[in-house]
Structure 1
Amino acid sequence: MIEIHNIHKTFGDKKVLDGVSGVFETGKTNLLLGASGTGKSVLLKCIVGLVKPDIGSVTFDGTYFTNNKLDIRQEIRRKIGMLFQSSALFDSMNVQQNVEFPLKMLTPDMSKSERMDRVNFCLKRVGLEGSNKKMPSELSGGMKKRVGIARAIAPNCTYLFCDEPNSGLDPLTALKIDELIKEITEEYNITTIVVTHDMNSVIEIGDKIMFLYEGKKLWEGTRDEIMDTDIRELNEFIFANRLMRDAKKVEEEEREEEREEQQETKSENQQL
């Protein structure tokens, strides 16, 4: 579990984060949702320690991370896996070398054969068994994301962070990446945080969602609850496209029909 407490961050005269607090649960896909420029990626960087908040703190399973001793921060960082928006694979390394890289950095006592076993296991888990010698230039966008996920989980991470994992992917591939992230989260009981603005991801994997607007947390809940909020900014974001508006209309019509049926049943029972 990851907790954030009253996170503030300003760059120059622009306030990017304004008192954001929340809890990200273990074994669930926790989404940071919002339009571009709302502070999602900055909040993610504050959580993993790439950016230091001006005010506030972050705890990982009860251990304070922000402003703690260097050795404690380093120990937590060893448990973090990161999937970057552009996958960020090393162009000069093949798939095997990319996945092996964090093992060399974080587990120096692991033997070469042990590293290879772990690399092959992770590649098989993301559906890329046998792709060891391929170069990033030979991979599709979806394959690069899968290699990025394999690299992130290679050191047996406890916390997984994904920054716009569906960026640049077609809808079908994006769905498969979402499913893979959710499967891995549940299978290994990882605390996963996904930065996204994709409503498809919300509907498919949004176990818990935090909606940011102009640097503030306006709403928090599940994918089952998000369609029924009365927050104007959130509704404008959710129903920005026609498909979501139509889905909302159908849902409301179905609920109205259900209410009418219940009322009719109640009336019939009273007559009896």
Structure 2
Amino acid sequence: MIEVHNVQKSFDGNQVLKGINCTFETGKCNLLLGGSGTGKSVLLQCIVGLMQPDLGSITFDGTMFSNNKVQIRQEIRRKIGMLFQGSALFDSMTVYENVEFPLKMLTPEMSRQERRDRVEFCLKRVGLENAGTKMPSEISGGMKKRVGIARAIAPNCTYLFCDEPNSGLDPLTSIKIDELIHEITHEYGITTVVVTHDMNSVIEIGDHIIFLYKGQKLWDGNKDEILNAQVPELKEFIFSSSLVRAAKKVDDETEGGLAAATTDEAINI
């Protein structure tokens, strides 16, 4: 579990994060939802230590991360896996070498055979067991995302952070990436945090959702609750998608039909 307490962050007098309090739950896909410029990526960078909050604190499973000793921060960082928005693969390395890279950096005690076994396991887990010798330039965008996931989980991460994992992907590939992240989260009991503005991801994998608006947390809940949320800013964001509007209409009509059928049955009885 990751806990964020009153985190604030400003740039040149512009307050981007305005006292964020939230919890990211273990074994769940926790989505940071919001439009562009709402502070999602800044909060993510504060959580993983790429930025230092101006005020507030962040704890990982009860251990203080922000404002703690360098050694403790490094120990926590070793448990963090990152899937970057553009995959961020090394162009000069093969798929295999990309996945092996964090093992060489973070687990120098592993033997070459142990690293090989771990890389092969991770590539197989994301469905790329036959792609190890390929270069990043030889694989598709969806495959690059899967390599990024394999690299992130290679060191047996406890916490997985995904920054816009569906960026630049077609709808079908996006769904597959969402499903893979969801499966890995539940399979290994990882605390996963996904930064997104994609409502399709919310409906597919939103175990726990935190909605940010202008640097503030306005709502949190799950995918079953979000369509009925009564926060005006969230409703405006959600129903900007025609697909979600249609899904809500069908849901309402289904509930209305069931209610009517139940009433008819009661009258007949």
Provide the TM-score with structure 1 as the length reference: 0.97
Which residue of 2 is the match for residue 11 of structure 1? 11
In the alignment, is residue 216 of structure 1 matched against residue 216 of structure 2?
Answer: yes
Cα distance, 1:264 vs. partner?
A: 2.6
Distance 1:222 1:157 in 2: 24
Which residue of 1 is the match for residue 24 of structure 2? 24
Distance 1:185 1:218 in 2: 25
Amino acid at match of 1:252: D
In the alignment, is residue 153 of structure 1 matched against residue 145 of structure 2?
Answer: no
In the alignment, is residue 186 of structure 1 matched against residue 186 of structure 2?
Answer: yes
Distance 1:236 1:81 in 2: 33
Q: What is the DSSP-based 3-state SS (H/G/I as helix, E as strand, rest coil) of the residue aligned with 1:133? A: coil
In the alignment, is residue 167 of structure 1 matched against residue 174 of structure 2?
Answer: no
Distance 1:121 1:189 in 2: 17
Query: Between the two proteins, what is the percent identity of the paired residues?
Result: 70
**Aligned pairs (5 A) from 1:256-271:** 256-269=256-269
Which residue of 2 is the match for residue 34 of structure 1? 34
How well do the aligned residues superpose, as a CA RMSD in angstroms? 0.9
Task: Please identify, of 243-252 and 95-104, the stretch whose mean Cα deviation from structure 2 is larger.
Answer: 243-252
Which residue of 2 is the match for residue 108 of structure 1? 108
Cα distance, 1:248 vs. partner?
A: 1.3
Amino acid at match of 2:215: G
In the alignment, is residue 234 of structure 1 matched against residue 234 of structure 2?
Answer: yes
Which residue of 2 is the match for residue 176 of structure 1? 176
Amino acid at match of 1:243: L
Amino acid at match of 1:65: F
Task: Please identify, of 234-243 and 24-33, the stretch whose mean Cα deviation from structure 2 is larger.
Answer: 234-243
Amino acid at match of 2:262: Q
Which residue of 1 is the match for residue 202 of structure 2? 202
Distance 1:191 1:241 in 2: 28
Distance 1:49 1:243 in 2: 36
Amino acid at match of 1:93: M
Which residue of 2 is the match for residue 45 of structure 1? 45
Provide the TM-score with structure 2 as the length reference: 0.98
Q: What is the DSSP-based 3-state SS (H/G/I as helix, E as strand, rest coil) of the residue aligned with 2:16? A: strand
Q: What is the DSSP-based 3-state SS (H/G/I as helix, E as strand, rest coil) of the residue aligned with 1:59? A: strand
Cα distance, 1:244 vs. partner?
A: 1.4
Per-residue CA distance 1:210-244 (angstroms, 9 max, x = gap)? 00000100100000000001111111111102221
In the alignment, structure 2 segments of 5+ residues that lack a partner are none
Distance 2:130 2:69 in 1: 42
Which residue of 2 is the match for residue 83 of structure 1? 83
Distance 2:246 2:70 in 1: 52
Runs (4+) of structure 1 exceeding 4 A deviation are none
